[in-house]
Structure 1
Amino acid sequence: MVDRIEQTRLTALAVSALQSYGLSPSHAEQTAEILVLADMFGLHTHGLSRVQSYGERIELGGVKRDPDIRIEEVGLAMSRVDGDDAIGPLVGQISLRQAMQQARHAGVGAVFARASNHFGPIAPYCYLAAQEGFASFICSNASLTIAPWGGKESRLGNSPLAFGVPNPGGDPFILDMALSVAARAKIRQAMQKGESIPDTWATDIEGRPTSDPARALSGFLLAIGGHKGYGLALAVDLFAGLLSGSSYLTHVKSWSDEPGEPSKLGHFFLLIDTRKLGSTEWLTERMQDFAGILHDTPASDPDRPVIVPGEIELDRYRQALAEGVPVSEQVLAHLQSRAR
C-alpha cells in the first residue's frame, strides 16, 4: 500500500525523524529536502526509504551526527568541501550552494567534496540548480560493485552522474544515471520471481556473463557500453574521488560490509550561470526549439512518443504537488515512529 502525503507535511515528518537520529534542525531540513524531492520524482529507492539506513549508520558511527563541515576556497571559482563524514545529502546541499555562489560571481563554480556518504539521487540537485538558472554537471563515486573491463574482482563503484540545463519557459533538461546496465535491485527482483536476466546485466564470480540472477548477485555488475562505460566510471571516480582528496576505487568503504566505518565518498559539482551567456528569453527560445525537434521525431511505437530526459520525473513531481507525495506504508511507519 502507498499513501500520498502533502509535501510540506511529509517534509516536516522527515525532518523530525532525522532529528531523532541526532541531526540539528538545519541539517535535517537540508537532508529532507533532497529525499522528499527524490520521492516526488518517483526515485523511491533513493528517497525517504533511505532515512532508516542513514539513521542506522549514524547509530553505528559510520555517519557523524554533528559534523564540522568546512569550505576552503582554492580559486576564484573553485572550492573544496570537507564533509567530516556527515550524512551525504547535507554535504551535497552545502556543496551545491557553494558552487552556485561561485558561479554567480565568476560564471562557473567547481566544488570538490570529500569525506561524505551516500548523497541520494543527483536529479534533485540538478533541479534545484536549474531553478536558479544554472546548468550543472554533478557526479559521485560509490562503493565497489563493478569489475574493471576484462577483470573478475570489483575495483570500482556504480558511480552516478547527472547533467542539468535550465529552461526558463518550461521543464529543465535533467539526465541522472548510474553507470551499470541494471541496478542490483532489479537483479534481486528477478531472483525473487524465479526469472532469468539478460546476460548483459552482470557476470558471475569468474567474470563470465550470466543470465542467472543468483550468480549475478555473487558476481559483478556490468558497466553500460562495455569498455566505454568502464572508462566513464573511472573518469567519475577521478573527479569525485581522487581529485577531491576523498577515497577512490578500493579505498571506498563498503556500506553493507562495514556500516560502522565512514564511506569517505567524494562528489563533484560543476555549475554554469546561463544568465552570463544570454537572456532568459534567449535560453527559453533555444530550449523550446531543442525539445521541439525531439518531440517531433516520428515514434517507432505510436504509444511511446519520443521524450526528453527529465520529463517523466517532472510529470511525477507535478502530480505529487497536486495529489501528495507517494510514500509506502513501511517508510511512513518508520518516519512516524522516529518522529514520535
Structure 2
Amino acid sequence: MKSVEASRLEKFAVEALIRVGATESDAKTVATFLVRASLRGIDSHGIMRLPTYVKRAKQGLINTHARIRVVSEVGSLALVDGDNGFGQVVGKEAMDWCIKRAKETGIAAAAIRNSNNFGAASLLAMQASEKGMIGFVFTNTAPAMPPWGGTTLTLGTNPIACAVPSDLGFPIVMDMSTTVVARDKIRAMAKQGKKIPPGWALDKLGRPTEDPLEALDGILLPVGSHKGYCLAFMVEVLSGVLSGSLFGRDVRQIYDFTGPQGVGHFVGCINIEGIMPLNEFKHRLAQLIAQVKSSDLAEGCERIYLPGEIEFNIEQERLRTGIPVPEEVIRELANLGEYEGLEPLLTI
C-alpha cells in the first residue's frame, strides 16, 4: 500500500481521460468524483475505476463528447438523456438542473436515461447539500441479486443516497447499496487478497462464501433480506423503467465490454427554504443530532457516529497524509500511464 496525494491522482486521471478523447471539463469532473470517493474512504468507487473508464472510452463504449440534453420537462420534473456519456458528467448536469429549478419551485427531480456508472452516489447528493438543499439519488446497476425467493440474477445493487446540510462542517450523508455490500467493495478486497465477511454473498451454487472471487461470480445478498429486495425493485422502477433506460437483466456490468451499460438514474433535491428558513432547519437538525449523540453506548462501542461522519473524518485524514492505494491498483495505473504515454504517477 502506497500513499499518493489527492492532487497527483487527480492530475493523472485528468490527463488519462483527455488522452482517450474526453474534454478537459468532463475529464476534470470525472477525476474529481473518483478522487473524492477515494478521499472519503469509498475506495471501491474511487481511483481504482480509472483504468476501466479509460478502456470503455477507448472502445467507444462511453461517448466522450456526449450531448446531454433535457428531453422534456413539466414543472419541476425533467427527463434527461445522457447520450451514453460519463455517468459523473451526466449526473452532475442533471442535478444542476434540479438545483436551479428547485430554487423556483421548492422541489425538483430528473429521470436520466442512456448513462453510465457514476461512482459514489453520495457525491451527487452532496451537490445539493452544498447549496443548502436536501439531495437524493437513485441508480440501477447490472444484475447482482435475484428476486426474493428466486435464483436468477435480476436486480442490481441499486444504491440510494441522500445528503442533508448541517452546521457541523460536513453534511449528513447516507449512501447505501440495497445489497449488503456494493459489488466493487468485494472487487477491491479481491485485489488486496482479503476474504469477505460471512453473510455478504453466496457462490453461484447458492452456498455461503467468504471468497471474493466466488462472490463476484455468484449472488450478492440483499440488505434486510426481503426488504432489501423491495428497495432494489423500487430503485429499478425509478431509475430504469421510468427513465426509459435499460433495466433488470439488460443493464451491463461496467466490466462487460460488449456494449454500453445503459444505466438509468433518478436524482433530485428539496429546497428547505420552501418549507422553513435554512437556519431554523439546521437548528432543529442540531437538536436531533444532540439526541442521537447522547445515546447510551452499547457494550463494545466507543462513540456514536452520524451518517457520513466516518467518511468526513477519513477525508480530513487523507487530505493530510495522502490516499492509500493498494499495490495492485498502483500497478494497473502504472500500466495505464505507460500505455497512454503519461508521466509516471508517483513522480508527477
The aligned runs of 1:162-241 (5 Å cut-off) are: 162-184=161-183, 189=189, 197-198=197-198, 200-206=199-205, 208-211=206-209, 213=211, 216-241=215-240
1:187-241 deviation line (CA, Å, top 9, x unaligned): 564898696852x3223434x4424636544431111111111011000010011
Distance across 1 between alignment mates of 2:249 and 2:306: 36
CA distance in structure 1 between the partners assigned to 2:196 and 2:70 by the alignment: 48
Q: 1:190 to 1:255 in 2, by over 3 A?
A: closer
Structure 2: distance between partners of 1:295 and 1:88 = 36
**1:5–1:197 distance in 2 versus 1, CA, 3 Å:** closer
**Structure 1 residue 297: Cα displacement:** 0.7
Query: Is the contact made by 2:117 and 2:263 (CA closer than 8 Å) also made in structure 1?
Result: yes
Q: CA deviation at 1:100?
A: 0.9
Secondary structure of the equivalent of 1:79? strand
Aligned length: 336
Pairwise CA distance, 1:185: 5.3
Q: Does the Cα contact within 8 Å between 2:20 and 2:57 map onto a contact in 1?
A: yes
Tell me if the contact between 1:87 and 1:117 (Cα under 8 Å) persists in the aligned partners.
yes
CA positional deviation for 1:280 = 3.1
In 2, are the aligned partners of 1:162 and 1:174 still within 8 Å (CA)? yes
Letter in 2 for 1:93: K
Q: Corresponding residue for 2:346?
A: none
Paired residues of 1:77 and 1:103 also in contact (CA < 8 A): yes
C-alpha separation in 1, matches of 2:112 and 2:67: 14
How many percent identity over aligned positions?
Answer: 31
1:12–1:216 distance in 2 versus 1, CA, 3 Å: closer
Equivalent residue number for residue 33 of structure 2 = 34
- 1:2 and 2:9 matched: no
User: For 1:60-105, what per-residue CA distance to the aligned partner results, in whole angstroms no more than 9, with x for missing partners?
Assistant: 2211121121123421111111111111111111111111111111
Could you tell me which residue of structure 1 aligns to residue 298 of structure 2? 300
Q: Could you say if the C-alpha distance between residues 162 and 215 of structure 1 is closer, same or farther in structure 2, counting changes exceeding 3 Å?
A: same
1:280-326 per-position Cα deviation (integer Å, ceiling 9, x unaligned): 32122112112111111111135531111100111122223344444
**2:150 match:** 151
**Counterpart AA for 2:4:** R
Structure 1 segments unaligned to the other structure (5+ residues): none
| Alpha-carbon separation, structure 1, partners of 2:190 and 2:253 | 24
Secondary structure, counterpart of 2:162 in structure 1: strand
Structure 1 residue 128: Cα displacement: 2.4
In the alignment, the residues of structure 2 paired with residue 76 and residue 241 of structure 1 have an alpha-carbon distance, to the nearest angstrom, of 21
Q: Does structure 2 conserve the Cα–Cα contact (< 8 Å) formed by 1:52 and 1:334?
A: no
Which amino acid is 1:292 matched to?
A: A
Contact 2:79 2:243 in 1 (8 A): yes
Q: Aligned runs of 1:1-340 on 2, under 5 Å? A: 1-7=1-7, 9-184=8-183, 189=189, 197-198=197-198, 200-206=199-205, 208-211=206-209, 213=211, 216-256=215-255, 258-301=256-299, 303-328=301-326, 329-330=330-331, 333=334, 337=338, 338=340, 339-340=342-343
Deviations 1:44-63 (A, max 9, x none): 11112211100101112211
Letter in 2 for 1:75: V
Q: Cα gap change, 1:93/1:194 in structure 2, threshold over 3 Å: closer, same or farther?
A: closer
Cα 1:330/1:130, change in 2 over 3 Å: farther
Counterpart-to-counterpart distance in 1, 2:226 and 2:277: 40
Partner Cα separation in structure 2 for residue 287 and residue 170 of structure 1: 13
SS at match of 1:285: helix
* CA distance, structure 1, for counterparts of residue 186 and residue 99 of structure 2: 38
Q: CA deviation at 1:179?
A: 1.3
| TM-score normalized by the length of structure 1 | 0.90
Aligned equivalents of 2:21, 2:289: Cα separation in 1: 45
Question: CA–CA distance in 2 between the matches of 1:212 and 1:321?
Answer: 33
| Alpha carbons 1:14, 1:335 under 8 Å: kept | no
Distance across 1 between alignment mates of 2:248 and 2:130: 33
My pick for the range that moved more, 324-333 or 85-94, is 324-333
Q: How far does the alpha carbon of each residue in 1:238-263 deviate from its partner, in whole angstroms, 9 at most, with x for none?
A: 0011101100001212333x414011
Q: Structure 1's 185 and 135: CA in aligned 2 closer, same or farther, altered over 3 A?
A: closer
State the TM-score, normalizing by the size of structure 2. 0.88
Q: Following the alignment from structure 1 to structure 2, what is the Cα–Cα distance between the partners of residues 148 and 292?
A: 39
